[in-house]
Structure 1
Amino acid sequence: MSDAVREAFRIQEHYCAAMDAPIYARICAAVAEGLSRDSAVGARVLDWAGEPTRDALPLRLIGGLHALVIAGQDDELAAVFDGAVADGAAIVSILERVLARHEAALMPWLDGPPQTNEPGRSAALMTGLLEIARRHGPRIEVLEIGSSAGLNLLIDRYRFDLGGTLVGPVDSPVTIVPDWTGDAPEAVPIEIVSARGCDVATMDATDPAVEARLSAYVWAETPTRLARLRAAVVMLRERGVRLDRADAADWVEARLAEPQAAGVTRVLMHSVVWQYLPEPVAERIRVAMAAAGARATDERPLGWVAMEPDRSLAHQVVRVRSWPGEGDWQVLATAHAHAAWVKYGAVAAGEGIVLPAGAKITV
């Protein structure tokens, strides 16, 4: 599997370079070109039994490395993460030593997928919710899958500046302002009447150990993200969210079977989660949403808002669909993986975004 593993790190290098993360791009390139089996960690990475890209193996490893840096446990590694060491061969040499001396600390980071619960993604998701509100009215019930620690379930409590369109409480302790390109979304009334989520492996961000884990998955190039994450955790400590530990398909089917209030649009929402769902789970969700869409009425509409990656573009695509109506996907925007920037309105009439030849967007 070593060839597939090295390719996974090259793919992640491409993503990181495209997302203005040169430090992480250099680390991925170093692993792809020079990682050996001389350490137990290196051997486990190179002999990965699963599908390394789908398993987000590069982010598992880098999360563990960043945790060491945040905890102040390795000055040599810190020099890589702060950009002081940029030479590829030097990075390879440092990583080999780090993997050997921190085997016990790093191995657990390979055991499970990364938990990048990024509040900034709420900005991209809010553009989709605004479009749903424009179509069907202001009152929205949010159902999120892949909620992780539930930080995006605070979407009704964050303040947003979306290209000049202001949304959310003015006294929010967290204001999210992505770099914006294109027209601003229409400033329509929106009221999130409830927000509920699920994850197959929920996390309690109010636990200091969990907060530290989430912090490790914040890329070293973006300290403002880390400050925002910590502020969001404070909001959770003050008032929690409704977060269930459940299989996504089981949970969606159960939520769609529940009574829906008149005048409220029920919206399935997710970000950077679809790629991690087993295909049978994803298909059950598609089937359940199609069936619920067929039952939707003007009084009880249904929507779907997704922010998911397209590998050919190396960034995210924000799309919506809703019922009653044809339920076709409409592309609203493209976005940085952490929604540091949003490019809004790049839509060809009736077709969605104009993509390069061969690009595919599927959910």
Structure 2
Amino acid sequence: MATEAEVREAFRIQEFYCRHMDAPMYARLCAAIADGLRRDSRTGVRVLDWPGEPTRDALPLRLCGGLHALVRERRDEGLAAVFAGKIMELDAIAAALNAALVKHDEELVPWLDGPPQTNEPGRSGALMVGLMEIARRHGPRIELLEIGSSAGLNLLIDRYAFDLGGTRFGPPDSPVTIRPEWRGEPLAPAEMEIVSVRGCDIQPLDATDPAVEARLLAYVWPETSARAERLTRAIAMQRERGVELVRADAADWLEARLAEPQQAGVTRVLMHSVVWQYLPEDSANRIRAATAAAGARATAARPLGWVMMEPNRAFAQQIVRVRSWPGHDGWEVLATAHAHGTWVKNGIFEEDRRPIELPKSAKVEAG
């Protein structure tokens, strides 16, 4: 069980990352919670007496998602003023927060029950950097297997249009264009055909359910309206044609998929983003072992790839890296990226190797 001091520190860490990620309102909110959260609500007590590791459990984002849902539903004028930037002083923000917790206690407690679902279509832009590298190495045809798919929005990667610093890919008439701010080196184009996309999640969400859509939108930081619009368009794409997403343990599912016959001339690729930290150690070890075994069996006709976008907390950014078999079994770092895909920096530069000055703990889910 975390101490109250550790819980408050978790909110200070999230404040730090929000500031670093250009979300000043959420930074103020997290600072006010860290300093001013009281025990006069069930929600407040549960947060301050958190039974797990609050930063690893993304506790700040669980609570902030619930608060944002109240604002989106126009349920609390005080919180709405905080989110609109009309209340700036931390003491006043804390007062509005604690009043909202008392007033909406029963509604907010369930938001603490599970990790935040920050399924973000913008992450597909960073993942595409890795997939293009796999296509350059092993040929254009790719079969995608995604673990931790959440609501399956990145399973639409074959239906999105991409503009990656002028390198374009995907159907030009797609309702969603992934166009991150491009930094660093130009992306070398690669011919690529995504022949299939499948995914799993331990607790998948049906994004086409209006209640689930509302929940996903509550986890979108309010400063980033473009993300909310993109999310809405992606969900509309799912309503038009669904994705292949099943409920399964990631290790169980991947082991079964890697044991299936593989079509000649198609590279099978494991893909994931902001997932690894949530896996139990046993599951992570099984995935490593299953992938290494499949890699040892891979041939030029039936290659295997692994593409990930996962956080390096010491640098407050995501790292895009790849490995593939045969011939490229060592990890290669290709790019860094914003946690929501707002920007992608192709290539690794000296400034990317200098860690930022962190608060006391570096363990935090960026959101």
* Separation of aligned partners in 2, 1:338 and 1:357: 19
Instruction: Determine helix, strand or coil for the equivalent of 2:330.
Output: coil
Provide, for residues 1-23 of structure 1, a one-character-per-residue CA deviation record: whole Å limited to 9, x for no partner: 21221121112111111111111
Q: Deviations over 1:293-348 (max 9, x none)?
A: 11111111111111111111111111111111241111111111101011111258
- Residue in 2 that maps onto 1:121: 123
Q: Runs ≥4 in structure 1, deviation > 3 angstroms?
A: 353-361
Which whole-Å deviations, capped at 9, do the CAs of 1:39-79 have from their partners, x for residues lacking one? Answer: 11111000000111111111000000000000110111011
Please state if 1:155 is matched with 2:152.
Answer: no
Partner residue in 2 for 1:301: 303
Structure 1 unaligned blocks of 5 or more:
none
Q: For residue 276 of structure 2, what is the aligned residue in structure 1?
A: 274
Alignment correspondent of 1:259 = 261
Q: Which has the higher contact order (CA 8 A, sep 6+)?
A: 2
Q: CA RMSD in A?
A: 1.8
Distance of 1:358 and 1:99 partners within structure 2:
33
**Amino acid paired to 1:78:** A
Q: Percent identity?
A: 69
1:357 Cα deviation from its structure 2 partner: 9.3
Q: What does residue range 98-177 of structure 1 map to in structure 2 within 5 Å?
A: 98-177=100-179
Which residue identity does 2:177 align to in structure 1?
T
Note the C-alpha offset of 1:84.
1.7
Match 1:183 to one of 185, 200, 215: 185
Question: Which residue of structure 2 aligns with residue 10 of structure 1?
Answer: 12
Bigger Cα displacement from structure 2, 246-255 vs 33-42: 33-42
In structure 2, distance between residues paired with 1:261 and 1:184? 32
Cα distance in 2, alignment partners of residues 357 and 56 from structure 1: 20
1:231 to 228, 233, 250: 233
1:14 touches 1:314 (CA, 8 Å); kept in 2? no
Which among 65, 80, 83 is matched to residue 82 of structure 2?
80
Please identify, of 12-21 and 234-243, the stretch whose mean Cα deviation from structure 2 is larger: 12-21
Does residue 44 (structure 1) correspond to residue 46 (structure 2)? The answer is yes
Cα distance in 1 between the residues matched to 2:236 and 2:72: 19
CA distance in 1, matches of 2:103, 2:237: 37
1:288 corresponds to which residue? Answer: 290
Displacement of 1:354 in angstroms is 3.4
Cα distance per residue 1:112-145 (max 9 Å; x no partner)? 1111111111111111101111111110011001
8 A Cα contact 1:15 1:315, kept in partner? no
- C-alpha distance in structure 2 between counterparts of 1:94 and 1:162, whole Å: 42
Are the equivalent residues in 2 in contact too, given 1:268–1:305 (CA < 8 A)?
yes
Deviation string for 1:173-214 (max 9, x for gaps)? 111110111122211101000000000000100000000000
* TM-score of the pair, normalised by structure 2: 0.95
Q: Distance in 2 between matches of 1:336 and 1:356?
A: 15
2-structure distance, mates of 1:35, 1:114: 20
Whether contact under 8 Å (1:147, 1:198) holds in the other structure is yes
Residue of structure 2 in register with 1:32 after alignment = 34
1:305 is matched by which residue type in structure 2? V
Q: List runs of 5+ in structure 2 lacking aligned partners.
A: none
Deviation of the 1:267 alpha carbon = 0.6
1:344 is matched with 346
Distance 2:25 2:312 in 1: 22
Aligned CA distance change for structure 1 residues 347 and 265 (closer, same or farther; 3 Å): farther
Query: Is the Cα contact below 8 Å between 2:299 and 2:326 reproduced in 1?
Result: yes
Asked if structure 2 preserves the Cα contact closer than 8 Å seen for 1:184 and 1:344, the reply is yes
User: Aligned partners of 1:211, 1:326: CA distance in 2, in Å?
Assistant: 40
Residue 34 of structure 1 and its aligned partner are, at CA, apart by 1.6
Residues 134/284 of structure 1: CA separation in 2 closer, same or farther (3 Å cut):
same
Match of 1:93, SS state, is: helix
CA deviation profile, 1:143-170 (whole Å, cap 9, x unmatched) = 0011011000000000011011001101
